[in-house]
Amino acid sequence: MSAKEDRPLLLGALVLMALAALMLHLRIHPFLAPDKVHPGEVIFRGAYVTASLFPLMDLILVTTLFCARRTAVYGYLLNGLIVIYGTVLMSHFMIAKLGAAGAPLMDWLLWKSTLPDIALAWADFLVGALLYRSWVRGD
């Protein structure tokens, strides 16, 4: 297949991974949560907004930028920045949480780890890199 024929598949993979990341962040860090003190009311947690903002930017802005040859380089750059920022933040919070608790190795690797989330972010970046290369080749 040519690069031009691969673009829709790569763009679809990029959208699905960004959507999965957004859904994970909304589930893990809900910025609108039910109030336990006042049932029926909702609490706004401003600290969790940025956790959902980056996957939302990935889903909307990065995908839009990758749709055209002229803006694909900006999509590639923004995708890379989001992945690096997300890797640093998720690693930091995992180390801070598990290191302070003296967690066993299996918690670090599997049960309470953010390593699968970081792997999803880097897979998203690699798909974006392939999509960018398909635009650069230009066939």
pLDDT of 1: 59
Confidence band, pLDDT 50/70/90 cuts, at residue 101:
low
In this predicted structure, the answer to whether residue 16 has a pLDDT above a threshold of 80 is yes
Q: 3-class secondary structure for the chain?
A: CCHHHHHHHHHHHHHHHHHHHHHHHHHHCCCEEECCCCCCCEEECHHHHHHHHHHHHHHHHHHHHHCCHHHHHHHHHHHHHHHHHHHHHHHHHHHHHHHHHCCCHHHHHHHCCCHHHHHHHHHHHHHHHHHHHHHHHCC
pTM: 0.84
Angle 52-116-22 (CA atoms, 0-180°, nearest 5)? 20
Lowest mean pLDDT among 25-29, 33-37, 46-50, 96-100: 96-100
